[in-house]
Amino acid sequence: MFIGIDDTDSKDRYCTTYIGTLLMEELGKKYLLDTPKLIRMNPMVKYKTRGNGGISLRIIEKDKLKDKDIEYIKKIVIKYVEEYSDFENENTNPGIVFLRDEDYKKNRDILRKYYKKVLYDIVDVEYAKKTIKNINGEYIGYKKELGIIGALGSIASNGPYTYELLTYRKRENWGKERIIDNKSVVEMDKKTFPLTFNNVDGDKQVIAPRTKCPVLYGIRGLEKDVLLKAMKMVVCGEEIDRYTIFKTNQGTDAHLRPLNIGDIYPNTGVIVYGWVVEEPKDIIGGTVIFKLKDSTGEIDCIAYEPTKEFRNIVRKLKEGDAIGVYGTVREEPLGINIEKMKVLKLNKKYIKNKVCSCGGTLKSKGVKSGYKCNKCGKRVGYNDIKLIEVKRDLLEGFYEVPVSARRHLSKPLILF
């Protein structure tokens, strides 16, 4: 049996993953459970609290669950969701979805399609309800019921996956300042990278959230064992209350897919290949913007101030460079917020060598009329002047925004 939950927390209180952790403990007393999932959906959803994540649990059904088990499971799930949701916050609209194993197995295609839809598009709650009805699932929605969308999205997800180990604080520490020893995180990163990733930005740890939620810190990685070792290396100013390892689509680029520029629409994730047609310029607020073209159209590509030194790479692009842009599409004005950029082929740029062999300067004799040396009088035809290739201080290759500006879903270059 699958249980999906989403939209229970606010910036001030709780965390949906915490409910997942408590339910793993409570239901784990009676049933065998698979690794829980923390699934991120379309990051362009406007009413998200943080990273648009929904969680799901799976009770392994060795034998078909009895009616009284199902009633018990539902009762426990509802109890925890109701106890740990911030109902007072107007943007918190919890949703729970239940789906039996047999219905999950019968409806894999519908679920796969639904997962892609919630990653790439903005959907409404009616679409989620209709899908749940089609696959014989059940839902419980509170208030505007938006959480149903992500609750089903989490159940519906498929690989590739990475993992995140989340540690939680004792209740008396919720809301207090987190004390995490920076040096220990840097050291942990050195010892475990790339099997753990996104731990540090330069020499600053970035594993701890800044909100009042129950999470102390999270470590992302590829192997559960390494995450457990990494947790033991992190030194912090309080005792960890509990922890859970979630299977997750974080760090996979699941939200991106190749599109032609002509097919791009707002609030979706894209990978676009093309040529620079308007060179980068700085506009207000530290934003750098340039125009990309393919055979179907043109679009602005944007690197914002939080992407810091990544903008220096963008600034070096020249007209005619062939590049790939990975990112999400902002609505107004339409443009791609760059997450990663692949410089495929730098356009060769030349300047005329106007130094004569005698050391003098070749002066132009008028439009397309050739050149004459101001020292020895030598003449050089317009098309005969030597060209020098301008050295570019940009290398072909793949570039990404710094860790602190990275989306949960963005695949770090180290994983390519």
Kindly compute the dihedral angle of the four CA atoms of residues 293, 296, 297, 302, in this order, to the nearest 10 degrees: -50
Q: Which residue in 2, 3, 7, 188 binds ligand ATP (CB under 6 A)?
A: 7
Q: With binding defined as CB under 6 A, does residue 122 bind ligand ATP?
A: yes
Q: With binding defined as CB under 6 A, does residue 150 bind ligand ATP?
A: yes
Contact predicate 59/65, CB 8 Å: yes
Cβ proximity to ligand ATP: between 41 and 325 the closer is: 41
Cβ proximity to ligand ATP: between 119 and 226 the closer is: 119
Q: With binding defined as CB under 6 A, does residue 156 bind ligand ATP?
A: no
Query: In whole angstroms, what is the distance from residue 84 CA to residue 5 CA?
Result: 12
Inter-residue long-range contacts of 258-261, CB under 8 Å, 24+ positions, other chains counted: 260/294, 260/295, 260/296, 260/297, 261/292, 261/293, 261/294, 261/296, 261/297, 261/298, 261/299
Q: With binding defined as CB under 6 A, does residue 45 bind ligand ATP?
A: yes
For residue 31, the SS3 value is coil
Q: With binding defined as CB under 6 A, does residue 20 bind ligand ATP?
A: no
Q: With binding defined as CB under 6 A, does residue 328 bind ligand ATP?
A: no
CB of 227 to ligand ATP, least distance (A): 20
Which residues are within 8 A (CB) of 73 and not within 5 positions of it... i.e. 6 or more apart? 1, 3, 27, 31, 59, 65, 98
Inter-residue long-range contacts of 278-285, CB under 8 Å, 24+ positions, other chains counted: 278/319, 279/317, 279/318, 279/319, 280/314, 280/315, 280/316, 280/317, 282/315
Site map 51..90 versus ligand ATP, x via CB under 6 A: xxxx------------------------------------
Q: Which residue in 13, 22, 42, 207 binds ligand ATP (CB under 6 A)?
A: 42
The stretch among 142-150, 198-206, 254-262, 316-324 that binds ligand ATP (CB under 6 A) is 142-150
Q: Which residue in 21, 49, 157, 199 binds ligand ATP (CB under 6 A)?
A: 49
Q: With binding defined as CB under 6 A, does residue 16 bind ligand ATP?
A: yes
Residues that bind ligand ATP (CB under 6 A): 6-9, 15-16, 41-42, 45, 47-54, 93, 118, 121-123, 146-147, 149-150, 153
